[in-house]
Structure 1
């Protein structure tokens, strides 16, 4: 009997289906060019090498991230559909409730596998704008309430909440212009149809270096690599203006534990040892800030609670 008992785990493993045997979709709930997309593409390429299957990045944009996130929450929990999400993941269901709608998904439908990056946002304006400091920006906004526009990835998105924190702390009124993602908002800023944007550092970095955009301040507790000359809002006396765009890897909550463990193992190995991935994310201005297991679950729970409170402070948006 003891021998049979010892063989049982081996038999179970032998009968378990092999995974992966086909492509694993990585859903990005935003258009190309935004922070999630900037992280997803080199990560997917690296995962392909480790898992031995294609990992296509699928941009499924809509409703500020709701459409793509909901599609993964409802997907078959077989390990072949994943989500590379932003910190807005928890804010969007709460925004739906505030608007009087039934949320298209809840965070309980998704299992947090690993955090990949965690970047503070940075306030950028066109290089030909009149503002060379946050002091000038705030002073102008106070002189012209509602005249200065800023973009976001949609109502209640990370970029919207970050700017709402600033407008509340500075006592200014700006005109919010929502887009379908951070990429389109950044394009609008570059074209001159927007005045300002709270951007992830990765998408903005090359444009700042090329002299097309000017960075005024960042939402981090410390200055951002690549933006060393840019002060933080905390340095400037806005002590409650602190915000991060993080990217995290999620799967449907019922995805079998062995598959989640395999994904976690692959992601951890890549983030710790893959120099190509590290260089790609560093070059994009979005360095690796890896977490998994209980640490990421705790971070996700605490950060989500803080962001949900911020959305509740914004209230209903007409």
Structure 2
């Protein structure tokens, strides 16, 4: 994709996020009233039980209790998150359909699909970032390695006969694994799954040797001894895994990657609904329940306003644009 095209698309996010400011100046029609006045569907474009659900389910419960209306999770997996995300992109912007997703459909899929069913920057409005968590390189306990150097040497010794798993093509987990593969000059076979839950199941069952996934998904498996942690991909060690070094510490300086999860709505959401949704979500993120989630998952607090979240998405999209096209991977 040409740099000029990427830059133009990045500017569209900022324009979408600027809707709130424009509305305050009278640039939009009169806002909708009495929202929510009927049950709200919260689409998660991944299988039930995956990392996105960690944020989606408690947030939906809080919104239901606080706003006196049902917020119902609807897991719509498929096409690396494009199916569920596209449903929200095409939905009426009345606040009755929302999206909680990982980053893949927003910043990566555009470089991997020839025919995207939506334009994330035009069709979706960022509300707030919910979680930003490091990822972990883990292996099945039967793999005879205990640190990253040993893992790299072991993969080299397999001469291409080594498999690793991710939550799906185009996910941040996939991109992080590809970045590690390129950084360490490895030959290994990628096995994409339809979400984190089935990938973890096959790792624990010994069907794949290695997995890259967020601390949200794999810390329970690590603590139970069903998976062995090798390295963390964040800038700092995870509080949940204080004895596990970062990839940077393990000899690959500057290596850094996070999984993140955000709340979105269809573009052109009325300003009063967007403001109410953002404020209520940020209120939830200050509760003891959410603080417990952050502690358990190793997440950093990243609650933001729509404009700040849009800027972050711009940066992420630009960063992955340097790697994703070079994979020569077409997903449709």
> Deviations 1:214-262 (Å, cap 9, x if unpaired)?
1100110101120111111111221242111011100001211111111
Asked whether the 8 Å contact 1:169–1:240 carries over to 2, the reply is: no
CA shift for structure 1 position 290: 1.8
Distance (whole Å) between structure 2 residues aligned to residue 265 and residue 297 of structure 1: 16
Greater CA drift, 166-175 or 301-310: 301-310
Distance (whole Å) between structure 1 residues aligned to residue 74 and residue 46 of structure 2: 9
The equivalent position to 1:55 in structure 2, one of 71, 74, 78, is 71
> Deviations 1:14-34 (Å, cap 9, x if unpaired)?
x95310011111111110222
The equivalent position to 1:310 in structure 2, one of 287, 305, 323, is 323
Residue 6 of structure 1 is matched in structure 2 by none
Secondary structure (helix, strand or coil) at the match of 1:121 reads strand
Residue 118 of structure 1 is matched in structure 2 by 132
Greater CA drift, 45-54 or 65-74: 45-54
Distance (whole Å) between structure 2 residues aligned to residue 16 and residue 317 of structure 1: 41
Indicate yes or no: 2:237 matched with 1:218. Answer: no
Residue 199 of structure 1 is matched in structure 2 by 213
The equivalent position to 1:166 in structure 2, one of 135, 160, 180, is 180
Secondary structure (helix, strand or coil) at the match of 1:289 reads coil
Indicate yes or no: 2:284 matched with 1:270. Answer: yes
Distance (whole Å) between structure 1 residues aligned to residue 212 and residue 63 of structure 2: 30
Asked whether the 8 Å contact 2:127–2:262 carries over to 1, the reply is: yes
Please give the TM-score of this superposition, normalised by the length of structure 1.
0.90
Distance (whole Å) between structure 1 residues aligned to residue 277 and residue 305 of structure 2: 11
Secondary structure (helix, strand or coil) at the match of 1:228 reads coil
Secondary structure (helix, strand or coil) at the match of 1:27 reads strand
Residue 313 of structure 2 is matched in structure 1 by 300
> Deviations 1:36-79 (Å, cap 9, x if unpaired)?
12221112112212221111111100011111111111111110
The equivalent position to 2:91 in structure 1, one of 66, 72, 75, is 75
Residue 168 of structure 2 is matched in structure 1 by 154
Residue 282 of structure 1 is matched in structure 2 by 295
Please give the TM-score of this superposition, normalised by the length of structure 2.
0.86
